[in-house]
């Protein structure tokens, strides 16, 4: 679960933001799939469940202005346990704040537990890769050794036949 909030920061709080101060926002997955797209907005929110592992990117673009305008964007990105809105869960369930904290901690421990299993799986894959690389390197070293010995043998045979032809041996 991922939640994001963004808004253009108004440099002059006394005045409203000019109509020209609009941005285009795009959130893309690691494989390039668009998760959120908004055009000509001052602020917005996006929510999605990440289906692909990796780094998701957010791009803020201000259309070409004459003269060029600079924007400051207030951006907040939450994912995992942080993305849940615990205040609404507490209100909806009519539970006290201690129970909310306990539920938060349970969710954190579940996410840590799941991450540990993912890390164990990645470690197993890395060990398998290490073993296969090691066996390939051993085979290549043996092949290189055999090739070097055969070339040395051919050189000795050639030198011996050369010296016999020249009647030096």
Query: 42-96: per-residue pLDDT in tens?
Result: 888 888 887 888 888 888 888 766 666 677 888 888 887 666 665 665 565 556 7
Give a yes or no: residue 10 inside a domain: yes
What is the Cα–Cα distance from 32 to 57, expressed in whole angstroms? 9
Backbone torsions φ then ψ of 75, nearest 5 degrees = -130, 130
Domain that residue 19 falls in: 2-84
Give a yes or no: residue 55 inside a domain: yes
Give a yes or no: residue 30 inside a domain: yes
Give a yes or no: residue 80 inside a domain: yes
What is the Cα–Cα distance from 84 to 53, expressed in whole angstroms? 19
What is the Cα–Cα distance from 19 to 14, expressed in whole angstroms? 15
Angle at 102 between CA 98 and CA 106, to 5 degrees: 170
The number of helices, as runs of H, and strands, as runs of E, in the chain is 2, 6
Give a yes or no: residue 126 inside a domain: no
| Per-residue model confidence as pLDDT tens digits over 87-138 | 665 565 556 767 777 888 898 899 899 999 999 999 999 999 999 999 999 9
Structure tokens at 131: 């073993």
Q: 28, 56 in Cβ contact below 8 A?
A: yes
**Helix residue ranges per DSSP H, the chain:** 86-93, 97-165
Total domains in the chain come to: 1
Entry pTM: 0.50
Structure tokens at 143: 């092949």
Which tops the pLDDT comparison, 2 or 136?
136
Give a yes or no: residue 150 inside a domain: no
Give a yes or no: residue 19 inside a domain: yes
Give a yes or no: residue 116 inside a domain: no
């Amino acid at each position: 679960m991922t939640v994001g909030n963004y808004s253009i920061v108004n440099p002059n709080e006394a005045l409203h933001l000019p109509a020209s101060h609009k941005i285009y926002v795009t959130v893309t997955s690691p494989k390039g799939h668009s998760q959120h797209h908004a055009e000509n907005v001052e602020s917005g929110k996006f929510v999605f469940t990440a289906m692909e592992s990796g780094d998701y990117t957010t791009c803020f673009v201000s259309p070409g202005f004459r003269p060029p305008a600079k924007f400051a964007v207030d951006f907040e990105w939450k994912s995992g346990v942080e993305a849940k809105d615990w205040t609404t869960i507490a209100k909806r369930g009519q539970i006290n704040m201690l129970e909310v904290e306990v539920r938060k901690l349970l969710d954190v421990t579940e996410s840590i537990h799941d991450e540990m299993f993912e890390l164990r799986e990645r470690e197993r894959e890395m060990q398998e890769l290490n073993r296969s690389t090691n066996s390939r390197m051993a085979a290549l070293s043996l092949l290189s050794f055999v090739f070097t010995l055969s070339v040395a043998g051919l050189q000795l045979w050639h030198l011996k036949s050369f010296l016999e032809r020249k009647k030096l041996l």
